[in-house]
């Protein structure tokens, strides 16, 4: 039986929009972006946060490759062009060809019945 992931209400807009765009939170008081999504700004504690669509491109800040019997997968922190970092998976690549600083873009993948944002290297 496949478990269906049910996002928390604070982050649901991000997950439900992942098929078309990548959303992060911006504070209406201090104007800073933050991720992971939460109702209060982690910088000034304002509750005046709003969703902002970002380009979905960035660079690998750091990564690790987890190897299993049936292959490998890459977990990474990607620094978006807008300046914030998110934890994600890097897909559609040979892990040996990855490097810190490599440019990536957001794509979508289905995981346990939910569309999630992941990243793939740019050529």
Residue 20's pLDDT band (boundaries 50, 70, 90)?
low
Which whole-number Å values give the CA distances from 115 to 34, 46, 92, in the listed order? 21, 30, 16
- C-alpha 58/C-alpha 52 separation (Å) is 16
- C-alpha 99/C-alpha 13 separation (Å) is 31
Higher pLDDT, 11 or 77: 77
- C-alpha 42/C-alpha 8 separation (Å) is 18
Task: Provide the CATH topology of domain 12-121.
Answer: OB fold (Dihydrolipoamide Acetyltransferase, E2P) (2.40.50)
Please state the domain extents for the chain: 12-121
DSSP 8-state assignment for residue 96: G
Residue 29's pLDDT band (boundaries 50, 70, 90)?
very high
Are 118 and 89 spatial neighbours (Cβ–Cβ below 8 Å)? yes
- pLDDT tens per residue across span 78-121: 999 999 999 999 999 999 999 999 999 999 998 888 888 999 99
- pLDDT tens per residue across span 49-85: 999 999 999 999 999 999 989 888 999 999 999 999 9
Helices (H) and strands (E) in the chain, counts: 1, 8
């Amino acid at each position: 039986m496949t478990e269906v992931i049910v996002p928390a209400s604070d982050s649901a807009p991000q997950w439900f929009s992942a098929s078309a765009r990548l959303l992060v939170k911006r504070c209406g008081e201090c104007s800073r972006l933050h991720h992971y999504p939460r109702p209060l700004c982690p910088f000034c504690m304002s509750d005046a946060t709003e969703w902002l669509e970002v380009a979905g491109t960035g660079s690998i800040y750091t990564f690790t490759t987890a190897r299993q019997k049936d292959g490998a997968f890459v977990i990474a922190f990607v620094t978006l062009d807008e300046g914030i970092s998110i934890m994600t998976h890097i897909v559609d690549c040979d892990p040996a060809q990855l490097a810190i600083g490599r440019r990536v873009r957001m794509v979508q993948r289905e995981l346990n019945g939910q569309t999630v944002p992941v990243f793939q290297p740019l050529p």
